Amino acid sequence: MVNLKVQKYQTTIIYLLICVSVIGQNMTREQYIEQYRKDAIIQMHKHKIPASITMAQGILESSNGNSRLAVKGNNHFGIKCHNWDGKKIYEDDDKKNECFRKYENALASFEDHSLFLKKYNRYAFLFDFKITDYKAWAKGLKTAGYATNKKYADLLIKLIEENQLYELDKVKETQSILTEFSRNVYLHPNRIKYVISKEGETLLEIAKEFDMRLWQLYKYNDIEDEYELTKGEKIFIQPKKNKGKVEAHITKNGESIRSISQLYGIKLKKLKKRNKHLSGYEIKSGFEIKLR
């Protein structure tokens, strides 16, 4: 497995909990879940492994699909070669230049992950747990030695609960994936529910889907009439908060007060009031934005 140091895990998790945003070409956590949840559910029905566990491991081991192993080798679970006859990719881990399995696509990685857990006796006891008992599975994976990080089980459980991945375990048939679970609803670290916009849909369609008024989406997301929605936007379906979880944000090029408001789940008017000293200034890299 990819046994990263505890400090690296902590840094990654803290960052992802503070904000879920697109940086360059990186995949966000929401995008990763949206793209691969179907594969995780299929694996659950085929191999009896909780989809929530598969998704959480994929998120953690591949850094939301952005790790070099995932990008260059389609290896989403950090599985090392272990008598592997297929293609290989090399990466520094516990030792320098270690051998990892390389796959043709992500689906092959998901399938091999399932087969890997079923192949080795040390994981056999996991299949005695209920498919919905993600906590037992998470702790069992740590006990079986899937990773050396002492907090591995806690990290998996937190990912599952923060992103409501346990809902994946409730999908009873693979045919129902696109109907019963067609839309993910996420929980922002600032405790606000939101969705990710799909290609071609409108705010009115989202409002109808959640039995909301259109003006509510405008208000909750600090946008004006006739706003043109683009794919991949974070759309809050609950009011944002008056303040953030952290004290301040250092701006980057291309950001705006509203984008920062969306990033941290803070009402735009509260953010402006808290940062009157920046009134009239063009937001450039290096400004400190007070969030609390």
pTM over 0.95: no
Mean pLDDT of 9-16: 42
Alpha-carbon distance of 71 to 137, in angstroms, equals: 27
- Cβ atoms of 29 and 65 closer than 8 Å: no
Using the CB atoms, write b or e for 36-67: b if 16+ within 10 Å: bbbbbbbbbbebebbbbbbbbbbbbbbbbbbb
Identify the pLDDT of residue 83.
Answer: 84
Read off the tokens for 123.
């994981």
Mean pLDDT of 143-153: 92
Per residue in 248-292, pLDDT (tens digit) is 998 888 888 888 899 999 999 999 899 888 776 677 788 888 988
pLDDT, mean over the chain: 84
Per residue in 172-222, pLDDT (tens digit) is 754 444 444 456 778 888 888 888 888 888 888 888 887 788 899 999 999
Identify the pLDDT of residue 173.
Answer: 59
Amino acid type, 183: R
Alpha-carbon distance of 146 to 273, in angstroms, equals: 49
Read off the tokens for 276.
């009157």
More confident residue, 12 or 222: 222
What contacts 41, CB < 8 A, 6 or more positions away?
51, 168, 171, 174, 177, 181
Quick one: CA torsion of 10, 15, 16, 18, rounded to 10 degrees?
120
Q: Which residues pair with 88 in a beta bridge?
A: 101
- With vertex at residue 242, the alpha carbon angle to CA 163 and CA 276, rounded to the nearest 5 degrees, is 130
Mean pLDDT of 153-175: 87
Residues in the chain: 292
Q: Assign 72 a pLDDT band (cuts: 50, 70, 90).
A: very high
> Which of helix, strand or coil describes residue 287?
coil
Q: What domains does the chain contain, in order, with CATH numbers?
A: 6-180 (1.10.530.10), 186-236 (3.10.350.10), 248-290 (3.10.350)
